Each structure stands twice: as C-alpha cells, then as structure tokens.
Structure 1
Amino acid sequence: MFDKENMLFLVVYIITFIFGLPANIFALYAFVKKVQQKATPVDVLLIGLTVSDLLFLVFLPIRMKEAIDHMEWNMPYFLCPLTGIIFYGTIYNSSLYLTAISVERYFGVAFPIKYKLNRKPLHAVVGSVVIWTISLAQCSIVFIMHYSDDKHNSSHVHCYEDFCDDQLKVLLPFRLQQFVLLFCVPLLICCFCYINFIRILYQLPNINPRRRYRAIGLAFGTMVVFLVCFGPYNISHLIGHITNESPKWRNYAVLTSTLNTCLDPFIYYFSSSALRGTFTQILNRFSSKLQCPSCSVYQRNTAQTLELEERTQSTNDNLDM
C-alpha cells in the first residue's frame, strides 16, 4: 500500500522518464547529426549534457523500484552507491555544462572575431572531460560514506540516508563545499554571462528580434533549472551544515532535481539551430501526412525563418543559438 510520500516520488520519476527519455533521445540524434556535418563547441557541450541526462534516465527505474518498496533498499548492495554517484553526479554535470554553455555564448558575442578564430570543438571535448572528472570526483563521497562503516550501513534498510556521527563530520563539510563550488559559483557565472549576453545583443542594431527572444529564453530556462531544480538540493547542503545533520526533507529537495532532464530539452531548443531545424523537418513530415492547414501555415512560416537564418549564418555564426 502506497503512502502519499512514496506515491509522490514514484509519480515524479515516471513523469520524468516518460517525457525526458524521448526528448533527450531526439536531441541527441539532432546534435550528432549536426556534429557530423559541422561541429562547433556548443554542439559538443550539448551532446555531453544530453548523454549525462540519458545516463540519469537509464538508472531512474532503479529509483522507481526504491519508491515502490517504500524507500527501502531491497536491491543488490553495490547498486546503492553506483546509483547514487550517477544520480548526484548528473546533477553537477548539468550545472557545469550549463555554465560552460553560458560562457561559450558570452565569448561569442563579447569577442566575436577573436573567439571565432580560436574556438575549436576540441576545446569543448577537453572541457567535457574536465566536467565529468569533477562531477565523478565530487560524488565519490557516496562510495566513501557507503563503505566507511559497513557495520553501521548494513544495519539500515535505506540507501545513502542514515549516517553516524563520524560520517557526518566528513559528509557535512564536503556538502558545504559542493554548495559553494558547484552551485553558487556556476550560478554567478551564468548570471554574469547571460546578463551581458542579452545586453550586447540589444545593443547590436542588425540582430533579428527572434535571436533576442531566444537569448532571453535561453537565459530564463537556465535560471529556472538552477533555481528550481538545483536550488533546493544545494540549499539542503547549507542547512545541513548549519544544523549539523542531514535534513529530513533532503529527499524532497533531490526530487526537484530529477525534473532537470525534462527542462534541459527546452534549453537545447533555444541553444541549437540544429535541433530547431530537425524538429521543423519532423513537424513538416507529420503535418504533410495529416494535411493540416494550420500546420502547413506554421510550416511555411518556419521554413521562411530558417531560410533567413541560413542567409545570416555566415555573418552571425557566433550568435547561432
């Protein structure tokens, strides 16, 4: 029999899986297709972010099983830290990738000529390796806590939830530095980059208004992900350090972070013309089969917009969102 808490977790996990999996698979297809034609640093970063989200979604059914079992861990012992490092690691992957994308966008408009001459997809590949290394290294704390006191951990039926005093002395300060380095610093960088990104775009006289709207959408979507998805989880680190305990409501804070994989595709849409183009092609094929008049109108308008973007692409390559 499900109680309200377990039902909430299960419903959120199912919704995230149903909507997030196809959206991210579609995005990965569009980005890989684009990279095969002409790779740019932002494409590489978006592929890394999409792969991170898909990895999270692949492991999400394990969390569903945990919710079905009333948040008790009835699965093999080794899956607990493995799932934890994937679950928490992808949270920090997302925040760091979104920060890297904001920096890439800002450099593209603030230093258009110099950055265009020096930007290479290889730089984004190296950046992706650094991001994954930092995320996995930070989340190694899950393994450390899980195996630091086998006698204590084996006496509890919950995964990465009950900690002894000795474990808390290590865990709480570690979480605090995660709050500062992997949430506060990236958030400040994103705010700086997107505020200046939008300001510069509005100062340029010949920029298509659609580009300005997409810039606002990109900045707004990123801030929503940081504050709504990552905010509660990271604030729980700060509160835990102040109260000297792991907050009981932390599971709910982590729950909001799972929605990140559903919101990231919106950021992809505002970030990549390749994704918008692929989406339009699929919509055109679908509308032609349905012979939908309203869809046809949208198809013509979108085709005209894409044609205009293609004409201006050569002179506005750094502004391609």
Structure 2
Amino acid sequence: MMETLEGGELCFPQLLNTSCRKPMRPHSEAMLLYILLSSISLLTVALNLLVIISISHFRQLHTPTNLLLLSLAVSDFLAGFLMPVEILLVGSCWLLGDLMCALSFFVVFIIISASVGNMVLISVDRYVAICDPLRYPAKITQRRVKICVCLCWVCSVFYCSLIQKDFLGLSGRYNSCIGECVVVINYIAGAVDLFMSFIVPITVIIVLYMRVFVVAVSQARAMRSHIVADTLQRSATVTAKKSERKAARTLGIVIVVFLMCFCPYYCVSFTSQDNMASASSDTFVVSLVYVNSCLNPVIYAFFYPWFRKSIKLIVTLQILQPDSCEANIL
C-alpha cells in the first residue's frame, strides 16, 4: 500500500529511481490555477486575433504606428498560444520530453525578445511623431516600419539562438530527474542577455518617453496660453496633433504596463541561483508576461474608438461583405 502511494506521487510511477515527484499541492489550488491560466490563454488569443484582423483588414488602419501594434499583437497572440505550456508546468511534471522543453523555452525567449524590440520601435515612433512632427511622414514610412519589424523578429531569433545554443544542444542535461524542465544559461550569457534584452532597451524606452512627455506637456501649455498662434510657427512645426498626443498617451500606458509585467521576470531570472530557472518555481513571473499580452488589447479597447468599431464589424461578420476593407472606422 505504501509503495502505491509513493508511486502515485511520481511523475512517472514506472520509473521509481529516476522520476521526479509531484508537488503536494491542494486540488482546489491546482484547479484554480488551471482555470485562471486557461481563461487568460483564451482571452489573450481571442483579443489579439481581433487586433490582427482589424489592422490587417481595414486599409484606414494601415499606418506606421498600427503596423507596430500589429507586430506586437502577433507576439502577444503567440504568447497566448504558449499559455497551455505554462498550464502543463503548473503541476511541475514535464511530460513532453527534453527536446520540447528546450524548444518551448526557446520560443518563449523569442517572443519576449520580439516584444521588447516592438516596444522600442513604438517608443521611437512616438518620439518622432511628438518631437519632430513635420518630418514624421518622411522619416516614419510604412516601408521603413515593415523593414524594422522584420529585422526585429529576425534579430530576435538569431539572438536567442546565440544565447541558448549550449542549452539547445544539451537539452535535459541539467535535469535532476525525469519529468523536470529546467533551462540553464551560463553566467556570461545571462549577463549579456540582461544587458541587451533589458537594461539597454528599457533605458531607451524610458529616455524617449520622458522626452515625449516633456514636449507634450510644453505643447499643451503653449496651446492653452495661445502662444502657438503668435510666437511659434503655427503649424505642426512645434505642436503635434491632438490625435498624436492621444496615441502617445495610450501607448505610454501600454509601455508602463509592459514594464510592470516584465521587470519581475528579468529580476527573478537574473537573481536565480546559477542562472537556473525552473519552470515550476517561476510560474508567477512568467504568468505576468502572459498577462501583459492579454492586457494590451484591453487597453486598445478602452482608448481606441477604431478598435471598438472594428470589433463590432468583425463580430457581426460585416467584414465578409464586398469592399468592407474600405470601411470608414476612424
């Protein structure tokens, strides 16, 4: 009887000497986690799919800024698809093998890297739009944005391949037992990753948005005091359009939420002993990254009327009508 109970605590009962043990977690707690993560996964996939369809389908939305939002929505959409992997890790028993363990972490790293890159591009876009509005149409073109987005994803794949090349070639080597999924990055690679994936881009984002905030506040004060009409160059030389400032405010909220969700992930990754991240022990901080992917389209729904209108057209299947892509939703 004791052997049966003991075997029931193993991830692989048939492997008594090499199998990992399941954690003694209350059934109600495990079910709550499963339901919560499953709901976030479905909501993330559905909401970001709406963003992708909206920006891809309606021609009025084919702007440089929205192309960046489209790229971010793609990374968030993929993150939503990976949430079931996180659900598998809630029980701490990895049942998909060492290769899938390595690949899952590899894809997660790519998505995180691409998300950070997209945030940097969004910050640059808002900086130029607010601080140099006259040259914005010439500097930030759709062609240049498409090239930058493609480079962002290609560089993310290449960069993550370099960072994880040792782990990908030796998947499972650092597992203490069968049924464990652990990624190990050497100290040098971990330090480089922290610097390149977190410190540098976050510094760029904060500096650019501080500049945007200062300029936007000064422009608003100038408009209220009517200085713009007399002493400044009247047009958009100094004063950005109201819509541009609103977009900057909305995307600023997106970036603040991004920092709140991603900072714990990088802090835990950096402070983990021997740079070892156990999937089960880091469930909370990794879940925050996925929650960020769900929150982005929610923010759009609150602040972008075009997103709410496009959702209505999509849900009511009006996008299936001829020439629906030419609809006026702005």
- TM-score calculated relative to the size of structure 2: 0.70
CA positional deviation for 1:119: 2.3
CA positional deviation for 1:261: 1.1
**Counterpart position of 1:147:** 169
For 2:244 and 2:62, locate their aligned partners in 1 and report how far apart those are by CA, in whole Å.
Answer: 21
Residues 98-139 of structure 1: CA deviation (Å, up to 9, x unaligned): 121111011012111122123221211111122112322333
Residues 232-255 of structure 1: CA deviation (Å, up to 9, x unaligned): 111123313xx5453665343222
- Is 1:58 the counterpart of 2:90 in the alignment? no
Q: Sequence identity of aligned pairs in percent?
A: 21
Cα 1:191/1:267, change in 2 over 3 Å: farther
For 1:176 and 1:151, locate their aligned partners in 2 and report how far apart those are by CA, in whole Å.
Answer: 22
Trace 1:89-238 onto structure 2 (pairs within 5 A). Answer: 89-140=110-161, 141-142=163-164, 144-148=166-170, 151-153=173-175, 155-161=177-183, 163=184, 170-204=185-219, 205=223, 212=245, 215-226=248-259, 228-238=260-270
Secondary structure, aligned partner of 2:87: helix
Whether the 8 Å CA contact 1:107–1:115 is kept in 2: the answer is yes
Cα 1:38/1:20, change in 2 over 3 Å: closer
Whether the 8 Å CA contact 1:218–1:270 is kept in 2: the answer is no
Cα 1:115/1:213, change in 2 over 3 Å: closer
Secondary structure, aligned partner of 2:255: helix
Whether the 8 Å CA contact 1:81–1:143 is kept in 2: the answer is no
For 2:174 and 2:217, locate their aligned partners in 1 and report how far apart those are by CA, in whole Å.
Answer: 58
**Counterpart position of 2:63:** 40
For 2:248 and 2:196, locate their aligned partners in 1 and report how far apart those are by CA, in whole Å.
Answer: 26
For 2:89 and 2:158, locate their aligned partners in 1 and report how far apart those are by CA, in whole Å.
Answer: 25
**Counterpart position of 1:21:** 45
For 1:196 and 1:244, locate their aligned partners in 2 and report how far apart those are by CA, in whole Å.
Answer: 38
- Is 1:260 the counterpart of 2:292 in the alignment? yes
Q: Which moved more, 1:104-113 or 1:133-142?
A: 133-142
- TM-score calculated relative to the size of structure 1: 0.72
Whether the 8 Å CA contact 1:102–1:193 is kept in 2: the answer is yes
Amino acid at match of 1:157: G
Whether the 8 Å CA contact 1:48–1:128 is kept in 2: the answer is yes
CA positional deviation for 1:51: 1.3
CA positional deviation for 1:259: 0.8
Cα 1:212/1:46, change in 2 over 3 Å: closer
**Counterpart position of 2:95:** 74
For 2:129 and 2:246, locate their aligned partners in 1 and report how far apart those are by CA, in whole Å.
Answer: 17
Amino acid at match of 1:230: F
Larger Rg: 2
Secondary structure, aligned partner of 2:134: helix
Whether the 8 Å CA contact 2:55–2:62 is kept in 1: the answer is no
For 1:221 and 1:145, locate their aligned partners in 2 and report how far apart those are by CA, in whole Å.
Answer: 33
For 2:214 and 2:302, locate their aligned partners in 1 and report how far apart those are by CA, in whole Å.
Answer: 17
**Counterpart position of 1:83:** 104
For 2:33 and 2:113, locate their aligned partners in 1 and report how far apart those are by CA, in whole Å.
Answer: 21
For 1:175 and 1:187, locate their aligned partners in 2 and report how far apart those are by CA, in whole Å.
Answer: 17
Secondary structure, aligned partner of 2:114: helix
The alignment yields a C-alpha RMSD, in angstroms, of 3.4
CA positional deviation for 1:28: 0.8
CA positional deviation for 1:211: 6.3
Query: Larger RCO: Structure 1 or Structure 2 (Cα < 8 Å, ≥ 6 residues apart)?
Result: 2
Structure having the larger proportion of residues in helix:
1
CA positional deviation for 1:61: 2.0
For 2:113 and 2:121, locate their aligned partners in 1 and report how far apart those are by CA, in whole Å.
Answer: 12
CA positional deviation for 1:160: 2.5
Gaps of 5+ in 2: 1-22, 224-238, 318-327
Cα 1:231/1:173, change in 2 over 3 Å: same
Cα 1:33/1:273, change in 2 over 3 Å: farther
Whether the 8 Å CA contact 2:120–2:204 is kept in 1: the answer is yes
For 1:83 and 1:247, locate their aligned partners in 2 and report how far apart those are by CA, in whole Å.
Answer: 13
